[in-house]
Structure 1
Amino acid sequence: MTCNLTLGPILFHWPAENKLDFYSRIADEAPIDTVYLGEVICSKRAPFFEQHYSAVVERLERGGKKVVFSSLCEVVLKRERKAIEEFCSFGSHEIEINNSSALLHIDGRPHRIGPMMNIYNEETMAHLASRGASHFVLPVELPRASTEILVARGRELGTGIEIQVFGRASLAVSARCYHARAHGRTKDNCQFVCEEDLDGMPLRTLEGKPFLAINGIQTLSQTYLNYITEFQELITAGITDFRLSPHTCDMVLVAENFKAVLDGRKDPAEADAALTLMMGDSAFSNGFWYGRPGHLRV
């Protein structure tokens, strides 16, 4: 079985120059097979980087990467519905759907189902596969037992199965913009305050303990998902693609360590130690895989 290392879409509102530098380095240095591009969280952010897509795609493909475009996860406004309709008309690249409104426009053409679609059972997977879905990115909160059931069904359907193995876990999205509200602003007049927190805005409990992270309308885990010590279990379970979610840390180093473990060139414990050193005070978690609270490191 061929296993692929993928890079998910950037979920945060990074300056365009940061994104350009990031993707240039990924293209030239990172052992990544597939890169997902697109604004997933907030449609208001999209115009800041859309004009750079052609150049970024060319650079990534020149570096041997496959490019997939990811859709918005929340579609509320008329302009967002129009954007989804136009998104589904892409002809040159594969697309990943993160909102069910896109199913109206996809018309049976091959596509991927993203992690925001919440595929929790095999019948949902079979229904979407019958409508053209060829690849599923499973929700991060699924435990091993549930994942194995979906992997088995995916194998019957001939679809790829992907899970996130690194980065803050997406837990929820809302119609409200938490970032704007926290700074006394409205969603329509947010002034893009989310750009101040390049890995999400950290939250603390009333007791001052680290709790969650906020990214616009999105709630993320405070801890960083890290399945590098579970890699062999994931491969044995039949998962085909392993997603790294971009953060401001050294994502090339992250990719190199995951790739080395995937290829059997590095011991998982050694790679985990390298990632722990790189992340400093940021905590890792893997509780979801074991059916435990997601913030735990089992």
Structure 2
Amino acid sequence: MAGRTLRITLGPVPYLWDGEAWRDFYFRIADCAWLDAVTLGEVVCSKRIHFTQPFIDAVANRLADAGKQVSLASMAMVTLEREAMLTRKLVEASPWPVEANDLSALGLLSGKPHLVGPFVNVYNGATARMLASRGATRICLGPELPLASVSEIIAASPGTDFEVFAFGRLPLAISARCAHARAKGNSKDNCQFVCQDDPDGLAVDTLDGQSFLTLNGVQTMSHTCQVLLAELPALQQAGVSHIRLSPQHCDMAQVAETFAHVRDLRIDASEGEARLRAIYPDVPLSNGFHYGTAGADWVPAAAEQVSA
């Protein structure tokens, strides 16, 4: 796999966007030549599904007609019978491959070709081999894994495609409670969909005013945006086949183009990083997890060359 060109994928929109805005976002993505595969669906909160459900068939078909590989994601945490029913319906009726983001979906998908999303903990080669034996064809590893762990897992599970989270705010935790609603004075049951007011998440600061985390409904995300550009050669050498871009409230077509140009050696990583800072301003970049340090750290490209 190390000799193959890295393919660029787009994960599900993690935030609550207006349904028509969500549709129009993906219609533009369909015209983006740099993306090879797109995963759609609601992974954070089942209450949001009705915003996008009227548009998902048109979006999936538009993407497929544009040559993208389309898949539908299951939720990251299933706690209600209604959510269990949604997961069963997704597995049974989806015309597209399903990405499992919860163990309940994995159980339903056993024996069927499927994808595994970054919310399923895959921390060693034995787990990856077990998932592959049950039908997983591609596994998106958790963004907290350092390169050394990524390399070991891939080496221990030959024949499976592996994906790494290369751009976006990092998904850190998900809860049955909604801190986003609570922060705005509402309960989860009467949230009034206040997360729609924050299309790129709600910033959380420490008591002394330091930027810390981002709330996204029931999900906690990083304040920083993970960017692995200078690291692409090392990821490819490790056997990574796909890199995942997570949609943020910025021009994701330009983000995909930037990653493709760095991958194809049209521009160097430093120029690519400068472009991303312009495309997604006011959000600091991070890559610390890749190097085994604090996830919010930014390790300059030169440091990787020295360590290599």
* CA-CA distance at 1:267 after TM superposition: 1.3
* CA-CA distance at 1:277 after TM superposition: 2.3
TM-score normalised by structure 2 residue count: 0.94
Q: What are the Cα deviations for residues 77-101 of structure 1, in whole angstroms up to 9, with x where unaligned?
A: 1111111111111352111000001
Query: Within 1, Cα distance between the matches of 2:228 and 2:86?
Result: 34
Whichever residue aligns with residue 139 of structure 1, its letter is: G
Query: Within 2, Cα distance between the matches of 1:145 and 1:116?
Result: 20
Query: Within 2, Cα distance between the matches of 1:263 and 1:94?
Result: 28
Query: In the alignment, which residue of structure 1 is the partner of 2:118?
Result: 115
Determine which of 92, 95, 113 is the counterpart of 1:92.
95
Query: In the alignment, which residue of structure 2 is the partner of 1:184?
Result: 185
Determine which of 15, 32, 35 is the counterpart of 1:32.
35
Query: Within 2, Cα distance between the matches of 1:109 and 1:14?
Result: 31
Whichever residue aligns with residue 212 of structure 2, its letter is: F
> Is the counterpart of residue 10 in structure 1 residue 13 in structure 2?
yes
Which moves more between the two structures, 102-111 or 46-55? 102-111
Which moves more between the two structures, 6-15 or 232-241? 232-241
TM-score normalised by structure 1 residue count: 0.97
Q: What are the Cα deviations for residues 187-236 of structure 1, in whole angstroms up to 9, with x where unaligned?
A: 11111011011111000000001000000111100000001121111111
Query: In the alignment, which residue of structure 2 is the partner of 1:58?
Result: 61
Whichever residue aligns with residue 188 of structure 1, its letter is: D
RMSD between superposed Cα atoms in Å? 1.1
Written as runs of structure 1 = structure 2, the 5 A alignment for 1:193-212 is: 193-212=194-213
Query: In the alignment, which residue of structure 2 is the partner of 1:169?
Result: 170
Query: Within 1, Cα distance between the matches of 2:36 and 2:124?
Result: 27
Query: Within 1, Cα distance between the matches of 2:131 and 2:24?
Result: 36
Q: What are the Cα deviations for residues 80-138 of structure 1, in whole angstroms up to 9, with x where unaligned?
A: 11111111113521110000011232241111111001111111111111111111000
Query: Within 2, Cα distance between the matches of 1:185 and 1:161?
Result: 40
> Is the counterpart of residue 262 in structure 1 residue 263 in structure 2?
yes
Whichever residue aligns with residue 218 of structure 1, its letter is: Q
Query: Within 2, Cα distance between the matches of 1:4 and 1:37?
Result: 17
Query: Within 1, Cα distance between the matches of 2:281 and 2:217?
Result: 25
Identical aligned residues as a percent: 46
Structure 1 outlier segments of 4+, above 4 Å? none
Q: What are the Cα deviations for residues 119-175 of structure 1, in whole angstroms up to 9, with x where unaligned?
A: 111111111111111110000000111110111123x2x111001100100011111
* CA-CA distance at 1:280 after TM superposition: 2.4
Query: Within 2, Cα distance between the matches of 1:280 and 1:112?
Result: 32
